[in-house]
Structure formats: structure tokens, C-alpha cells
Amino acid sequence: MRASPALACVVPPRYLAAERQRERRLMPRFQPIDFYEFDALLSEEERLVRDTVREWVDDNLLPVIEHATIERRFPKELIPQMAELGIYGANLPEEYGCAGLNSVAYGLIMQELERGDSGIRSFASVQGALCMYPIFAFGSEEQKRSWLPRMARGEVIGCFGLTEPDYGSNPAGMRTTARQDGNGWVLNGAKMWITNGSMADIAIVWAKTGDVDDVASIRGFIVPTKARGFSARDQKGKLSLLASDTSELALQDVRVGPESLLPNSGGLKGPLSCLTQARYGIAWGAIGAALACFDEALRYSKERVQFEHPIGATQLQQLRLVEMLTAITQAQLLTLQLGRLKDRGTARPQQVSLAKRANVSMACDIAREARRLLGANGILVEYQAMRHMANLESVYTYEGTHDIHTLILGQELTGFSAF
């Protein structure tokens, strides 16, 4: 995290207004449970980063997320605050204006953001793992110096265009093309379900520069969204990730200069490596959503009285809570080990698939069970469980569906591709 006053847990003055707002609404504060002394496995810096973002989420994200959800709008006012905390591309090097954190600290940031809302974690994931990372990994030195510091400061927002209307799980089939035109390129095609699509300043667009079947010809392009022929349209009718911008992109004879091409990208491996970064963040993020639901359910079980005793005094609700605690504890330990492997440089994409698949599924189950424990109140937006439950259906689907990760792991075990 950027060495800023925020790192030292000094809450910038304008955040105090949100704190007062929280108190007015008597929003209960998150009460972390550390059943397996997980904190002892973290460094001081990792804990500090997590606690800083945790406090920011409690004071600034949670007070606005309910209304943002009802109004179906991404809370743009949070963008500069997250930049100030050093959240965007937090695991990329300081020489490009980023925080230079290790993978575990980065993961803990994703956990805390998604404890607030999957849509906010999505925004940060797309900005960091899907837009800044490809510029860092496949860009020229000039591109890195030009884009990364501005993106870290939240002055330039990115989106990532891989999925197409007819190619979701199978991006190798993409139809978007980039044809060389003098020094530059002309792009044509459509991208679907693109997070941040309507608010982005640039789009990382993946396109084929050769024949329609030539997967090796896939290259990445930094496309300014104000380029002539580029348009974005909001995806209407969502019942999930309501506080997130999801759009369809159309590229019609979009001309870009040579500086647009990510020179070191080539083949499907390029976008898939970006997905590995984002899936890693999602594995942590899902724990955050689960923690929020567990925290709310536990508190509710102690407060809600039926048959003259708290529902938490009944065996059925205790079973629910114990299953939640067990699943969260297992996920934390698994994901921490993944983070340590990533920092050692030995984590493999299949290990990331296992964590994304297991943790998102775990979080979906916990959100659903928490919602049920809350009875009728569980369907209200002023409680968190149902918002998380609906959000997690998208998380289950994007960045490789649960099924696709099953097949990735099945192939890893048997050597047979079953796609």
C-alpha cells in the first residue's frame, strides 16, 4: 500500500462525515472472529493493510452501498478514496506509482472490499488485475510509465474486453478483429458483460490480428473509449451486482495508433494470465462476502427472539453458524497458502482455479444460509445477506464459471480435456 498517511491508519478528515452517518444509522460494526489464530500467520504489514481497508469499508463503503444498490449505480464517489488508500494495482511495483504489496496483503484488500460488496471488489479487480496488470506484463516501458501511475491514482479507469456475445467460456473463438492499417490498427467487434464498460477511459481489448481460427494471433490493445467508432451501452435488467457498471462494447472501425498495441501480448495465454491474477483476488474476495454474512447472521441469532429465547439458542441455527465458521476457516487457510505460493512464484493457474471455485461456492452457500437464518428480514436490502447472495451468483459465473474451473481441475488430474 502506498506509503501515505492512510497506511498509518490516519483516517482522512472527509471520511469522518461517513463515520457520523454510520453512527446515526446505528449500523453495527463488523466483529471479526479469529478462531484459528489466522492473524498470527500474517505479517504486521499485512495486518495493517487489512485493518486500514477494513476501517475504510466500515466507515465509507457500507454507509453508501444500500442506496447505491437500490439506485442501481456504481458509487463513483469512492473511486478517489480507494486511490488514496493505494488499492488499485496494489501488488504492482512502486516505480509505477503502485503500492508494491505482496500477494497476501493484496488478497486481504480484496477480502475487505468484497466484505463490503462484490461490485466494489469487481471495480478494483478490473482496474488492477485486468487492466493495469496486462499493461505491466505485456506493455512497453513507455506504456507502463504513461498509464500505470495515472491508473493507480484513479485518474484513468479501465475495463477489460474479452467475453463476446457468442464466446463466453470459450474466448478462443472470439470474432473481434484488429487489422493493420499503416502504422496503426482498425478494430471491429463486440464485447459483452464488460465491468466498468460505460465509465472507463480505456478498454483493454483482446482481438485476433489473423484469421478467425488463428488463436495465436490474439493481441491486446489499449483502446481509448473516446475513439471514434467505440461505444458502450449499459446492460439492463441485472438482478445481481446492482452497484456495478456492466456494459456491452461495440467497436466499429475503431482506428488506433501503434502505441495502442501491447507489444508483448500474443495468443490466448495473454488474457488468461490476467484472469489468473483476477481469480486470485476473487478467491480472497469471496471470503470477505462470507465473513459479512456470517457476522450478520451470528449477531441476528443472538438478538432475534422466538419462542421466548434467541434463535441462536436453538440447535438448528447453531448448526448453520458452525458450518459457516468451519467453511470460512478452511477457506482462509487454503487461500493464505495460495498467497504464500504466489509470493514464492510457484502458484500455478490450476491452484488458483481450485481456490476460486471452492471459495465462491462456499460463499454462495453461506450467503444463502445467512439469508434464511434472518427470516423475512433476510430479503431486505438493509441487511446484507441477500445482496451478497445475489452478487455471488455473478461471481460464480464470471472469471470462469464454477463448471469451467471443475473442468480445468479435471484435466489437471486426468490429463483429459472434457471441455
Q: Quick one: what does residue 172 bind among ligand FAD, ligand TGC, none, with the CB cut-off 5 to 8 Å set by partner type?
A: ligand TGC
Judged by CB under 6 A, which stretch of 61-69, 70-78, 374-382, 395-403 contacts ligand FAD? 395-403
Alpha carbon distance 356, 343 (integer Å): 17
399 given a catalytic annotation: yes
Considering the complex, what minimum distance in angstroms separates the CB of residue 196 from ligand FAD? 7
Selection from 271, 120, 287 nearest residue 205 by Cα: 271
Q: Considering the rule CB under 6 A, would residue 194 count as an interface residue with ligand FAD?
A: yes
Whole-number minimum distance, CB 418 to ligand TGC, in Å?
Answer: 11
User: What is the rounded CA–CA span in Å between residue 157 and residue 22?
Assistant: 28
Q: Which residue has the cell 444498490?
A: 69
- Rule CB under 6 A: choose which of 12, 28, 154, 168 binds ligand FAD: 168
Whether the Cβ atoms of residue 140 and residue 102 lie closer than 8 Å to each other: no
Q: Which of 74, 123, 193, 280 binds ligand FAD (CB under 6 A)?
A: 193
> What SS3 string covers 194-248?
EECCCCCCEEEEEEECCCCCCHHHEEEEEEECCCCCEEEEECCCCCCCCCCCEEE
Q: Of the listed 77, 112, 399, 412, which one is catalytic?
A: 399
Phi then psi for residue 165, to 5 deg, are: -55, -40
C-alpha–C-alpha distance, residues 112 and 292, integer Å: 9
Q: Does 401 bind ligand FAD (CB under 6 A)?
A: yes
Site string for ligand FAD, 336-375 (x = CB under 6 A): ----------------------------------------
> Is the CB of residue 386 less than 8 Å from the CB of residue 380?
yes
For position 163 contacting ligand FAD by CB under 6 A, the verdict is yes
Minimum Å gap between C-beta 284 and ligand TGC is 12
241 lies in the site for ligand FAD, by CB under 6 A: yes
Asked whether position 174 contacts ligand FAD by CB under 6 A, the answer is no
Contact residues: ligand TGC, CB under 6 A: 122, 125-126, 160, 162-163, 169-172, 195, 267-269, 272-273, 275-276, 278, 349, 398-400, 404, 408, 419
CB 406, min distance to ligand TGC, A: 11
Q: How far is CA 355 from CA 109, 282, 322, 358, 385, in A?
A: 17, 9, 21, 5, 22
> Considering the complex, what minimum distance in angstroms separates the CB of residue 1 from ligand TGC?
20
**Number of residues forming the site for ligand FAD (CB under 6 A):** 20
Residue 253 interacts with ligand FAD (CB under 6 A): yes or no:
no
- Least distance CB 120 / ligand TGC (angstroms): 10
200 alpha carbon, distance to own chain's centre? 16
Spell out the residues 6+ positions from residue 111 whose beta carbon is closer than 8 angstroms to its own: 50, 284, 285, 287, 288, 291
Helix axes 349-373, 385-397, angle to 10 degrees: 150
Please state, in angstroms and rounded to a whole number, the distance separating the CA atoms of residues 178 and 207.
6
Binding site for ligand FAD (CB under 6 A): 126, 160-163, 168-169, 193-195, 241, 246, 394, 397-399, 401, 403-404, 419
The set of catalytic residues is 399
